[in-house]
Amino acid sequence: MDNVIYSYIIIGLPAYNEEGALPKLFDKLLFLRDVYGDKFRIIVVNDGSSDNTENILKEYKKCYGFVDYINHEGNQGLGRAIYTLFCYASQNYDKNDILVTLDADNTHNPNIIPKMVEKLVKEKLDVVIASRFAPGGKEIGLSTERKIYSRGAAAFLRIFFPISNVHDYSCGFRAYDIGYLDRAMEAYGENLVTSKGFECMAEILVRFSKIGVKAGEYPLVLEYNLKEGQSKMKVLNTIKGYFSLIHRVKKPTRKRGEVNE
């Protein structure tokens, strides 16, 4: 990204049965159109929703030319939705563009996106993570049990897969340099994201750690009190997924046209 200014800011949202939260999140995202003008896009992966999510997306696409969406046939899980976003960004945008992913459940405040993008560009980073554990970050509305779990998971991942300047491995609110995503996808192919559940966000960073990554964090106030309905995360399965990364993730040996085992 030396001496190059980004061309597009693409907001990527994985969504599964978010009919209640999506309109609220979209309304919060619209200010970014004023910030980035014609360089702003929103792409949603509708991961087999069975509620009114697709109809809501149709209406927003009709009203706003910078909004589009991709449908998955059936619910394939967060990991596959994120991988679809990575593929879409890599195939449709330039290496100097930026993909920002965040949850579609309205718990991530988009107001910090310009600061995350600015940090990514100015510090020439590959990824910036909105972190609950960075100075100024915190969690609102999260149970004590979930707070203990999240901190324990973060400590575990930092021990086995240390990345400089990274403390929050599980938050999906991130800004990615698409040029770096291209390199990661070239190295891993479809194996860049193999986890189906919420552990996929940690897996991505773990795989990045094996090929070298320049990362940073920006403080996040996680507004879990705004979440509608029950969490879709299965805690025990996610914990097992974290442990499995120790033996599942190796430094890639993939060459062009090959697929890793």
Residues 34-58 have pLDDT tens digits of 999 999 999 999 999 999 999 999 9
pLDDT (0 to 100) of residue 20: 95
What range defines the domain where residue 231 resides?
9-248
The CATH number of whichever domain residue 165 belongs to comes to 3.90.550.10
**Is residue 257 in some structural domain?**
no
**Separation CA 73–CA 80 (nearest Å):** 11
Q: What is the pLDDT of residues 103-119, one digit of tens each?
A: 999 999 999 999 999 99
pLDDT (0 to 100) of residue 256: 42
Mean pLDDT of the chain: 89
pLDDT (0 to 100) of residue 253: 73
pLDDT (0 to 100) of residue 130: 97
**Separation CA 251–CA 49 (nearest Å):** 35
% the chain with pLDDT above 70: 87
Q: How many domains does the chain divide into?
A: 1
| Segment holding 65, helix H or strand E | none
**Is residue 254 in some structural domain?**
no
Which residue's structure tokens are 């965040």?
Answer: 102
**Is residue 48 in some structural domain?**
yes
**Is residue 148 in some structural domain?**
yes
List all residues 6 or more positions away from 139 whose beta carbon is below 8 Å from its beta carbon: 132, 147, 150, 221, 222, 224
Nearest to 154 by CA among 138, 170, 165: 170
**Is residue 206 in some structural domain?**
yes
Q: Do 47 and 78 form a contact (C-beta atoms < 8 A)?
A: yes
Which of 98-102, 189-193, 237-241 shows the lowest mean pLDDT across its residues?
Answer: 237-241
**Is residue 217 in some structural domain?**
yes
**Separation CA 253–CA 261 (nearest Å):** 10
Sign of CA dihedral 244, 247, 253, 257: negative
The pLDDT-based confidence of 235 (bands split at 50, 70, 90) is low
pLDDT higher than threshold 90 for residue 72: yes
Q: Give the long-range contacts of residues 68-73, CB within 8 A, separation 24 or more.
A: 68/41, 68/42, 68/43, 68/44, 69/43, 69/44, 69/45, 70/43, 70/44, 70/45, 70/46, 71/46, 72/45, 72/46, 72/47, 72/48, 73/48
pLDDT higher than threshold 60 for residue 2: no
